[in-house]
Amino acid sequence: MKHTKARLKFICAAIGALFTATAPIQSYSQEAQFRHVAVVVRPTLDSLIMKEDTDGDKKITIDDPHIPGTNKGNKRFTLTSLDGKTYEVAGTYYLSNLLQALTLAKDEGIDTTLIDGSEIFAPPVERIANSIKNLYWQGLTRRIDGNGLGKIFTDTKTKTITGLNYVYVPHDDGLAKSYFDSVAISRPDLRMRVVRLPKKITAKYVEGLNDSAGILSLKMARSADGRIEGAPFVVPGGRFNEMYGWDSYFIALGLLQDGKVELAKSMVDNFIYEIENYGKILNANRTYYLTRSQPPFFTSMALAVYDFLPRGAATTDWLKEVLYAAIKLHDDYWMGPTHLTSTELSRYYDDGIGPPPEVEPGRYQHLYEEYGKKFRMNAGTFEREYLSGKIRVPTLDKFFTNDRSMRESGHDASYRLQNNCAELVTVDLNSLLYKSETDIADIISKDFGGEVKLKDGSLETASSWRKRAKIRRVLMTKYLWNERRGMFFDYDFVNQGQTDFVSATTFYPLWSGAATKEQARLVVQNAIPLLEAAGGIVGSTEVSRGPITKDHPQTQWDYPFGWAPHQMLIWAGLKNYGFAKLSRELAYRWLYTVTMNACDYDGTIAEKYDLVNRSSQVFAEYGNVGTRFSYITRGGFGWTNASYVVGLTYLSKGLIDDLDRLIPPEWVTER
């Protein structure tokens, strides 16, 4: 990778990283002599933890200090085999690999096991990719059925004041209702209550479920042997134990790369079910998400799966189901009255009532304190009075509408959207809708001869959808493109002007194909220097985020943090417009950050990273999902897993070799 002036600022930091990072350099215990070593599992594991986990967090990481005057924490461990031979394992990365192997054996109830040196000393890229493919996807797979509910009900978000676990089924899904009724009878240990939703679901009805929130059913099907089971899906991980809207698109890309085509297809099938029964792809399949969706990646996800399916009548029929659902989602929801604005572009909007129930405790404490003072009552009293409807506060109602709408965007929280999301037509949403329109046109054109009749008898043509996409593209240039700054910005249709918040979403039109070649060139020229950090593309600039104070706390989607979906969209968008070399460089930066943290922190694959410091040790808002586990991570984090296996496809073998040796991006020469 050739140095440019914009990257010289990283050189000093890179020199420090070169000498302080725990690079996986081969231990002198010599892998060639360390093939299959038989050990007693529990005593070896206990000894390893006692010696090397000196900070007591049930991991072996670079943060475990060496205890002066002892050999504890010196990152060297002597492994004794059953025949009395000894083998040394040295270095954080190798010791954590040994910890993981012993933990797996213990959890499987094995008393003695063979430690395979080729696994313990595996190059990190190979080990991480294999763990994702062979362990993490399985660990994150769920089903909404009798066999899967036990795991889902362990989630703290299912707890209710009644102590019951609620399963809600659509009004017209008789199969799901009878099935879950039978599960409730046969599995009293699940403490399960089954509720049929009304035919028309209103925001008021959803508000009334806050004390009895529950999981929503997804697609059910009969297996080959006649059993009814839920269609499987992959969850993000950690506290996210349900099927999420936009996470699922990126997860599917990873599944497809790893050959898990049927699982990715099953996730599309679950989304078709949601569109047909809930009117949208839900933020996630829980009751308090019934009033909002998430960014619309449905056609992109379905077409990615379609590319891996065998051609034939069954696949064509499936694609037609996708098409029907995609048109319904686009026209009824995203172009419906709550989302279409006076600009003829769309906004994010959630018409739910009051604070979103899924937020962490104390999230709105400062607001209740502020308003409590105005009403001369303490925060707790004000909160109760407001939520019961005894006090009407229109400005607080507006805040919660914007807050909920921001959550539909998936970017919760960001100062780009924090207080005015419902008043913005955003670059990201309209880029995604442009992509949906062109996808629908392509499906009708390529697979159905240019026109297709829908279930209601109406006719859809490829030309009409191309016209719709063309109109949106013109409107995006009119409202969202800033010629002077050479970037895309959100548009405030209430105050009739662009915002000036510089966000990674300025690259979305490159991913969707909505940008002209000249616009793409200018975005690269102007946005890359502002948003590129040591570890990839940050969510926003520091200036746009603003200074961090008690009243202006750090938000997780802004500087200095970066997220897998932004990286993946930007790599693809740059490649679309001929910036393949830059996409490789950015992919390497991100993969280096993920790899280094996995080596230093016991295999950690995190939800998000501080890309300025290349660190997974992030504590903004909800903390960092994927970093909290004991001894071994069994799931990583969904879209970060996907970004890893997809990101590797952007790199040459030479770059992957450099990544294995943890060569910082600033020192890499393009192969």
Task: Give per-residue pLDDT as tens, 346-400.
Answer: 999 999 999 999 998 888 999 999 999 999 999 999 999 999 999 999 999 999 9
Tell me the per-residue pLDDT of 181-226, one tens digit each, with 9 for 90 and over.
999 999 999 999 999 999 999 999 999 999 999 999 999 988 888 8
| Measured CA distances, 612 to 305, 536, 538, 543 (Å) | 34, 8, 8, 14
**Residue corresponding to tokens 């069994």:** 634
pLDDT of residue 12: 42
SS3 call for 172 = coil
**What integer best gives the mean pLDDT of the chain?**
94
Q: What is the largest CA-CA distance in the chain?
A: 82
HEC assignment per residue over 202-243: CHHHHHCCHHHCEEECCCEEECCCCCEEECCEECCECCECCC
Peptide bond into 68 cis (omega under 30): no
> Residue 430 contacts by C-beta under 8 Å, 6 or more apart in sequence?
345, 346, 472, 475, 476, 480, 514
**Residue corresponding to tokens 């085509």:** 261
Is 423 noted as a catalytic residue in this protein? no
Tell me: pLDDT of 9 over 60: no
Tell me: pLDDT of 565 over 70: yes
Tell me: pLDDT of 23 over 80: no
Report, as an integer, the average pLDDT of 545-558: 95
pLDDT of residue 256: 98
Tell me: pLDDT of 622 over 90: no
Q: How far apart are CA 194 and CA 168, in angstroms?
A: 6
Report the percent of the chain where pLDDT is more than 90.
89
Tokens describing residue 608 = 């998000």
pLDDT tier, 669 (very low <50, low <70, confident <90, very high otherwise): confident
HEC assignment per residue over 194-207: EEECCCCCCHHHHH
Tell me: pLDDT of 60 over 90: yes
pLDDT tier, 605 (very low <50, low <70, confident <90, very high otherwise): very high
Tell me: pLDDT of 18 over 60: no
DSSP character string of 21-85: S---PPPTT-GGG-SEEEEEHHHHHHHHHHHH-TT-SSS-BTTSPPPTTSSTTSSEEEEE-TTS-
Selecting among 53, 145, 412, 600, the annotated active-site residue is: 412
Looking at this protein, which amino acid is placed at residue 273?
Y
> Residue 364 contacts by C-beta under 8 Å, 6 or more apart in sequence?
355, 383
Report, as an integer, the average pLDDT of 169-190: 97
Tell me: pLDDT of 20 over 60: no
Q: How far apart are CA 437 and CA 431, in angstroms?
A: 10
Report, as an integer, the average pLDDT of 562-591: 98
pLDDT of residue 167: 98
pLDDT of residue 127: 97
Residue 100: name the closest of 83, 122, 72 by CA: 122
CA 479, 482, 486: angle at the middle one, nearest 5?
Answer: 145
| Residue 488 DSSP class | E
Q: Count of H helices and E strands in the chain?
A: 25, 22
**Residue corresponding to tokens 């009805």:** 205
Q: What are phi and psi of 287, to 5 degrees?
A: -60, -35
pLDDT tier, 155 (very low <50, low <70, confident <90, very high otherwise): confident
Report the percent of the chain where pLDDT is more than 70.
95
> Residue 339 contacts by C-beta under 8 Å, 6 or more apart in sequence?
333, 346, 347, 348, 349
Neighbours of 316 (CB within 10 A): 13
pLDDT of residue 37: 94
Q: How far apart are CA 626 and CA 77, in angstroms?
A: 27
Selecting among 258, 383, 408, 607, the annotated active-site residue is: 607
Tell me the per-residue pLDDT of 258-288, one tens digit each, with 9 for 90 and over.
999 999 999 999 999 999 999 999 999 999 9
CA 410 to centroid of chain Cα atoms = 9
pLDDT of residue 3: 41
Instruction: Kindly provide the b/e burial profile for residues 199-211, where b requires at least 16 CB atoms within 10 angstroms of the residue's own CB.
Output: eebeeeebeebbe
Report, as an integer, the average pLDDT of 77-106: 96
> Residue 88 contacts by C-beta under 8 Å, 6 or more apart in sequence?
27, 28, 29, 76, 77, 78, 79
| Measured CA distances, 30 to 88, 89, 121, 522, 529 (Å) | 9, 9, 9, 52, 44
pLDDT of residue 1: 58
Residue 117: name the closest of 141, 88, 144 by CA: 88
Tokens describing residue 260 = 């898990």
| Measured CA distances, 35 to 31, 38, 81, 372 (Å) | 7, 10, 12, 67
Tell me the per-residue pLDDT of 430-459, one tens digit each, with 9 for 90 and over.
999 999 999 999 999 999 999 999 888 889
Tokens describing residue 84 = 């009395």
Report, as an integer, the average pLDDT of 23-28: 43
Q: How far apart are CA 551 and CA 363, in angstroms?
A: 13
Is 412 noted as a catalytic residue in this protein? yes
